Amino acid sequence: MGLIWFWLVAVMIVGYVVLDGFDLGVGVLHLFLARTEQERRMALASIGPVWDGNEVWLLAGGGTLYFAFPLLYASAFSGFYLPLMIVLWLLVLRGVSLELRNHLAMGVWQTLLDGVFGLASALLAIFYGAALANVLRGVPLNADGYFFLPLWTNWKPGPAPGILDWYTVIGGLVALVALTLHGALWLSLKTQGELEQRARRMVGPLWTGLLALTIASLIATIAVRPASLDNYFHYPVTFIVPVGVVASLAAIWIWNRKEESLKAFLASCVYLFFMLAGACWGVYPVLLPATTGPANDITLARALSGPHTLAVGLAWWLFGMALAATYVIFVYSRFKGKVDLETSAH
C-alpha cells in the first residue's frame, strides 16, 4: 500500500507539472514573443480555458500528501514555510493579473498586469525547481522530524544548508528553461501567424539551454547525493528513465524542425515525466532525506498513514480522479485546434 501511494502522489505531481507547466511557460514568454495587443490576447487565450483547472492538480496533490503521508506533510510544510508562502502569493498574483487585465482597458494597467503575470510565472517555475532540488539534496531534519531552513547560508550543500545554494539554483534554472520550452511548444501548437513562427523559432535556443542544464543537473545530483543511483543499479531495467530523457529531448528537436507541433509538445510532456519519475526513483523509499544523518530520514514506512485510512482514501481517490480525468478530457477536447485571431480579440 505504501508503494501504491508513493507513486500515486508522484503521478499527481507529474500531472500538475505537465498540465500547469505549459501555461507557466506561456506566462514567461508572452511578454517577449507577443508584440501587439492582439497577439498578447491570443497567447493568453491559448491557456484561458484550462489554466485554473490545471492548478487544481496542485491542491489535489497536497491533499493526497496530507492523508497518505502526514509526517512528511507536517515536516515539509513547517520547514518550507517561507517558500510555500512565497509560492502562495505568486499563485494569487498570477491569477489576479490574468483575470484583471481583460477588465481594464487602460494601457498602463494592462502593461503592469502583464509584467506581474510574466514575473510570477517565471518565479513559480524557479521555486518549483528549487523545491525539488531541496528534496533531492536533503534538509537538516531533527530527530522529531522537523527542521528550519533559512533562505540561504554559504550557498553550499552541507549539513546546514539554506533553501538556495548552487545546487538548488541549478534545479530552479532547469525548471525555468524546461517549462518555458514547454510553453513555447504549446504556443506553436495553439496559435497561428507570426506568433506561432516566433514561438517555434524560440524552441531551438531553449532546447540547447535545456540540454546543457539537464547534463549539469545530472552531474550535480550525483555529486550531492551519490545514493541517488543505488536504485538504478539494483534494478537495471529502470535505466530506461535516463534513456527516455535523452529520447524525448531528441524527439522535441526533430519534430519541432519538422513543424509537427503536437508531437513536439507530447515529447516535452514525456521529458517532464521522465525527469520527475527519475527524481522520485532516485530517493525511494526515502521521502525527505536528512543532511543530519540517515537515522533522521523521513522514509515511506515512517511517514505512512494507518491501513484503514489508506484503504478508504484509495476508494475516494479513484472516484475523485475519475471525475478529474473526465473533466480534463472534456475541456481539452472542446478546446482543440488553434486559437482564432478574431475571437481572441474579445
| 144 domain-assigned | yes
Q: Report if residue 53 sits inside a domain.
A: yes
Give, as one character, the DSSP assignment of residue 339. Answer: P
4 in any annotated domain: no
- Per-residue pLDDT tens for 252-283? 999 999 999 999 999 999 999 999 999 999 99
Structural contact between residues 56 and 324, judged by C-beta atoms closer than 8 angstroms? yes
- Containing structural domain, residue 329: 18-333
pLDDT at 173: 97
Cα 74 from Cα 41, distance rounded (Å):
41
What CATH number is attached to the domain comprising 118? 1.20.1630
Residue 192 lies in a domain: yes
Report residue 66 as a C-alpha cell.
Answer: 496530507
Q: Give the number of domains in the chain.
A: 1
| 12 within some domain | no
Q: How far apart are CA 178 and CA 274, in angstroms?
A: 13
What gap in Å lies between CA 315 and CA 308, rounded to an integer? Answer: 11
**DSSP structure string for 112-175:** HHHHHHHHHHHHHHHHHHHHHHHHHH-B---TTS-----SBSSSS-SSS--SBSHHHHHHHHHH
Phi, psi of 304 (to 5 degrees): -70, 140
Residue 341: its pLDDT value, please?
Answer: 60
pLDDT at 321: 87
Q: How many CB atoms lie within 10 A of CB 56?
A: 15
Torsion of CA 202, 205, 211, 212, to 10 degrees: -150
pTM for this model (two decimals): 0.92
Distance, CA of 6 to chain centre? 17
Q: Is residue 3 part of a domain?
A: no
pLDDT of 345: 44
Cα torsion 47, 49, 50, 52: sign = positive
Q: Are 113 and 104 in contact (CB under 8 A)?
A: yes
- The neighbour count for residue 65, using CB atoms within 10 Å, is 20
The answer to whether position 76 is within a domain reads yes
> Looking at this protein, which amino acid is placed at residue 160?
A
Instruction: Decide if 8 is inside a domain.
Output: no
Whether 19 contacts 13, CB under 8 Å: no
- Is residue 179 within 8 Å of residue 24, measured between CB atoms? yes
Residues in the chain with pLDDT < 70?
A: 341-346
Q: Is residue 191 within 8 Å of 162, Cβ to Cβ?
A: no
Interstrand relation of 286-288 and 298-299 (parallel, antiparallel or unpaired): antiparallel
d(CA 331, CA 328): 5
